[in-house]
Structure 1
Amino acid sequence: MKTVRSTVRFTLLFLLSFGIYGLWLLLSFVIPNKVYWRQLIFELWSRGFLRIAGIEVEVIGSPPQPPFFLVSNHLGYIDIPVIRSVVPGVFVAKHDIGDWPLVGRMITNMGTIFVNRDRRKSIPIAGEKVIDRLSQGEGVIVFPEGTSTKGESVLPFNSSFLEFAARSDVPVSFLSISYRTPPGEPPPSESVCWWDDTPFIKHLLGMFGVSRFTAILNFGDQPITDPDRKQLAARLHSNVSGSFIPML
């Protein structure tokens, strides 16, 4: 049963992704407001992904309204459609994702800001792009842990991701994300979080085998500002950790 479910869901996701991307390419030449069109397509894809995968989203608190700069803990690729289904924005991602065949091109066209953590010059360049997105009225979401985890705890935040926010006095909103699977299914740390060396397609098919699960988004009440990037990172980490629900 799980194999059949995985196959059907994977096929539906393939059709959804390339169908919506084809629509994006076709109409992007005639629709003048590219930002609006890109955000609409991204939202349609995200909501479609959740329906196909059987994901329910539980929201605690009030999501920020764009433009905003938002940080979150990171548990895997599924965080992206889950968060995007609730708040309109673009993501900051590792540069190598942009090199993925086909998918990398699609992600790039959805306004993703890429950063190479191994090159110090890449981070301030990404910061300039974040400022540009904010000035266009968009939201920007970043995962300052720098990697995904299995959900035992929230890793320390990399303050370099927040340098531009500290220097520019940009208010930083925050949220914690957790997952819950129903009785009889593998725990989310094994079935939903993508933190080990499992190939992407293999993990995706395994996740699609889960009948349904819940994503819990807990938004902070007030954004945080701090001119010191390390203090800003520490304060944000403390708040995100305080509302995070471990997945043991």
Structure 2
Amino acid sequence: MNGPFDVHSDCTPDCAAHALPRVPAARIARRGAAFARTVRRALTDGARMAEPGRLRTHARALLDALDLRVEGPASLTAGDGPGTLVVVNHVSWLDILALLAVEPVTLLAKREVGGWPVVGGLARRAGTHFIDRTHPRRLPHTVREVSELLAAGRSVAVFPQATTWCTAGAGTFRRATFQAAVDAGAPVRPVTLGYRQQGRPSTVAAFCGEDTFAASLRRVLAARDLTVRVTAHPLLTPLDAGLDRRELAARAARAALGGRPVTATAGGVPRPAAPVPHAPPRGTPAHV
């Protein structure tokens, strides 16, 4: 039986392609070894990984090991008051690392993510809340849980497309989790994740269809000059604007998925994107 979060994507592993020639085999091997070491360090951190500072440090270290640069704002959340519902397009397992490298927030992800190699273990230790899409009767409980987190001042990041697509403009946003923002009177931050190689749009990071983690990791390890840009769009405030979840989801989707821009609320315009500060991995040039 299909659940309320079940969505079919037309994307397949064939969508994932390099926009530039692959890096040499020796560099692939160095990246793989560095990534494995960094994963081991992160997993041995245990429950402490959920601490925001440590979570950001681990996420940045994993991306550094892959030579994947992150460009993004200093923050995704609104600050004081209720937490922010951060709604993001979904391309790859790398999305989770990119978000946490910018700002550690509570993640809401499909149950299957918990079983993914590497990322699943990190997500569980980071305190991710998992959605079981096979039990639609759990949906009201999930919405209430997210609403309580937001009301308590904790920001939550969700992927309302409910599945991955190879580009940022595909799919649409499901409305259910937007009800949590309405109930909590919490602001919504639409966010776009876009992957590029030397400034060219790239699908090499896409993790779609029947793709495997091993195959996806091999592509990323071989990718030349891969960057993920985290674009924070103006805040949407459902209470001030009198928005219900349907209109809130539609406006967030227009912003995050490349449609018409939304009107910025007072104080809701994020800073321009800039490189997230990283410590360069050993043996590689500093990120710029």
TM-score, normalization by structure 2: 0.71
Segments of structure 1 that go 5 or more residues without pairing to the other structure are: 29-33
- Aligned equivalent of 1:31: none
| C-alpha distance in 1 between matches for 2:96 and 2:62 | 10
| C-alpha distance in 1 between matches for 2:207 and 2:24 | 19
Q: Select which of 65, 80, 104 maps to 1:52.
A: 65
Q: Select which of 234, 255, 269 maps to 1:239.
A: 255
1:4-51 deviation per Cα after TM superposition (whole angstroms, max 9, x unaligned): 3333222222221221221335xx4xxxxx9xx522222111110221
How far has the Cα of 1:105 moved from its partner?
4.1
CA contact (8 A) 1:93 1:115 kept: yes
| C-alpha distance in 2 between matches for 1:165 and 1:16 | 35
Q: Select which of 207, 217, 226 maps to 1:204.
A: 217
Q: Select which of 202, 211, 222 maps to 1:188.
A: 202
Change (3 A) 1:77 1:104: closer
Partner amino acid, structure 2, of 1:223: L
Q: Select which of 246, 249, 253 maps to 1:230.
A: 246
Q: Select which of 67, 76, 84 maps to 1:68.
A: 84
Task: Give 3-state SS (helix, strand or coil) of 2:127's partner.
Answer: coil
How far has the Cα of 1:178 moved from its partner?
0.7
Change (3 A) 1:123 1:38: farther
1:173-213 deviation per Cα after TM superposition (whole angstroms, max 9, x unaligned): 11111111128x9x621x11112322111111111111321
Q: Which is worse superposed, 132-141 or 47-56?
A: 132-141
TM-score, normalization by structure 1: 0.81
- Aligned equivalent of 2:27: 5
Q: Which is worse superposed, 3-12 or 232-241?
A: 3-12
How many residue pairs get matched?
232
For residues 18-57 of structure 1, what are the structure 2 equivalents within 5 Å?
18-25=40-47, 28=48, 38-57=51-70
State yes or no: 1:153 paired with 2:175: no
| C-alpha distance in 2 between matches for 1:230 and 1:222 | 16
Task: Give 3-state SS (helix, strand or coil) of 1:198's partner.
Answer: coil
Partner amino acid, structure 1, of 2:57: L
CA contact (8 A) 2:75 2:103 kept: no
Change (3 A) 1:135 1:3: farther
How far has the Cα of 1:146 moved from its partner?
0.6
Identical residues among aligned pairs (%): 22
Change (3 A) 1:62 1:154: farther
| C-alpha distance in 1 between matches for 2:63 and 2:144 | 32
Q: Which is worse superposed, 197-206 or 140-149?
A: 197-206
Change (3 A) 1:100 1:85: closer
1:38-95 deviation per Cα after TM superposition (whole angstroms, max 9, x unaligned): 2222211111022111122223696324532100111111111112111221211111
For residues 37-116 of structure 1, what are the structure 2 equivalents within 5 Å?
38-59=51-72, 63-65=76-78, 67-100=83-116, 104-116=120-132
Q: Which is worse superposed, 215-224 or 69-78?
A: 215-224
Q: Which ranges of 4 or more aligned residues in structure 1 deviate by more than 4 Å?
A: 100-103
How far has the Cα of 1:139 moved from its partner?
2.1
Task: Give 3-state SS (helix, strand or coil) of 2:170's partner.
Answer: coil
| C-alpha distance in 1 between matches for 2:252 and 2:234 | 12
Segments of structure 2 that go 5 or more residues without pairing to the other structure are: 1-22, 261-288
